Structure 1
Amino acid sequence: MHHETKAILANALIAMLQKRSIDKITVKDLVEECGLTRQTFYNHFYDIYDLVEWIYLQTTEKSLAENKDYDTWQQGFYQLLISIRNNKVLVQNTYQSTNRDSLERYMHTVIYDQVLAVVERQAIGMSVDQKHKNFIAHFYSLAFIALICEWIKDGMKEKPEDIVEQTAVLIKGDFEKALNKYAK
């Protein structure tokens, strides 16, 4: 029931976003839309943006979990872009809202975890301090986030596969090269 209630709230929010911006939707509006109480909402979420982050995580969690190595990171990045495009109204509403940082926070969490997993796998057999692996993951995460934010701002016109292909060309071998420079 816990997950079902969250899904009901998520679906109601997505439906409401078809008619108005996220900054114009209140918890009261949302619970009235789906016939729940405010307390039910607050039993599950801190605020509307907490619900938005939950929606983002639910839509990307499975596809990214399966693509955490150097050979499949591109598929994970592609799946993330597809997920963002499939939730275009939600993402663009969040991006254009006063609380855009919730979108960026979500992207950083998801992308950093993904990139760090790839870096960790590339570092197997190397003696590299964790702080250096974390820095590499942070650096590339910020680059990915900047690309995604620019793509969102431009209306998601470029094909996800083109973004992934161009990114892959730029970073091919870079994780290993950086790790080798930091290796003891």
Structure 2
Amino acid sequence: MAEVKEDRRIKRTKRQLSAGLIELMKKKNIKDITIKELVEKVDINRSTFYLHYSDIYDLLNDIEKNLMEEVTSVFNSYKNIEQLEDSYAFLLTLFKTFDNNRELCKILMNNPNSSSFMEEMEENLESEIRNKLTEILGDTSLISPNSYIFYRCGCTGLLKYWITNDSPEAPEEMAKETYHLVVDSLVRIQEEKSKKQL
């Protein structure tokens, strides 16, 4: 029972520190944020901060890691997509996840110190696209390397623009638009494949 309480206390402390850093990063660059400033903002002892993190960048890495775990769980939840049409549900869940974390995502996407977050996001997306297309199409030889780059950069670029510019479209609209941009091109690839088999 004591361990459960301790775990809750640690999680609460980490949440406070994360929320405090995100608030400070809305106003200034992370390199200008001090541990003293952060702990005063969230009313936590400096020694408590050092129990969990070595410095501000260590905390930022933890924030990025937690968000990426949430995004990865979306990918893992849709491992068994068998039809192109089913990918809309995946895209909708992905956009909703980013919408629920909009303020954090905006900060990470605009922060030069968080470039690894977007890189990892793009790599995961490309890997997922490759896996899904192999499952759905079987033969992916008709898909050029340039197409994979287009899907990867196009999807993440659209997502980044939507988040950082406070675009008014709902997650449902964004998922639908992304779905049509990607799936329409894949349908044409399937049609080409069918013609070659005739």
TM over 0.5: yes
Q: TM-score, normalised by structure 1?
A: 0.72
- Provide the rounded CA distance (Å) in 2 between the counterparts of 1:163 and 1:62: 20
Q: Decide whether the 8 Å contact of 1:60 with 1:83 is kept in 2.
A: yes
Counterpart in 1 of 2:92? 78
TM-score, structure 2 normalization: 0.68
Say yes or no: does 1:160 pair with 2:171: yes
**Contact 2:134 2:140 survives alignment (8 Å):** no
- CA RMSD, 1 decimal: 3.7
Q: Where does residue 18 of structure 2 map in the other structure?
A: 13
**Aligned match of 2:77:** 66
Q: C-alpha displacement at 1:144, in angstroms?
A: 0.2
In structure 2, distance between residues paired with 1:57 and 1:118 = 20
Contact 1:108–1:145 (8 Å) recurs in 2: yes
Mapped partners of 2:15, 2:137: distance in 1:
39
Q: Which moved more, 1:133-142 or 1:26-35?
A: 26-35
Cα distance, 1:7 vs structure 2: 8.0
- The 1:61–1:28 alpha-carbon spacing in structure 2 relative to 1, beyond 3 Å, is farther
Structure 1 pair 30/15, CA: closer, same or farther in 2 (3 Å)?
closer
Check whether the contact 2:91–2:179 (CA below 8 A) recurs between aligned residues: no
Question: What's the counterpart of residue 94 of structure 1?
Answer: 108
Structure 2 equivalent of residue 38 of structure 1: 50
Report the number of matched residues.
Answer: 177
Unaligned runs of 5+ in 2: none
Bigger CA radius of gyration: 2
Write the distance in 2 (CA, Å) between the matches of 1:27 and 1:115: 40
The CA distance in 1 between the partners of 2:148 and 2:112, in whole Å, is: 28
Larger mean CA deviation between 22-31 and 97-106 belongs to 22-31
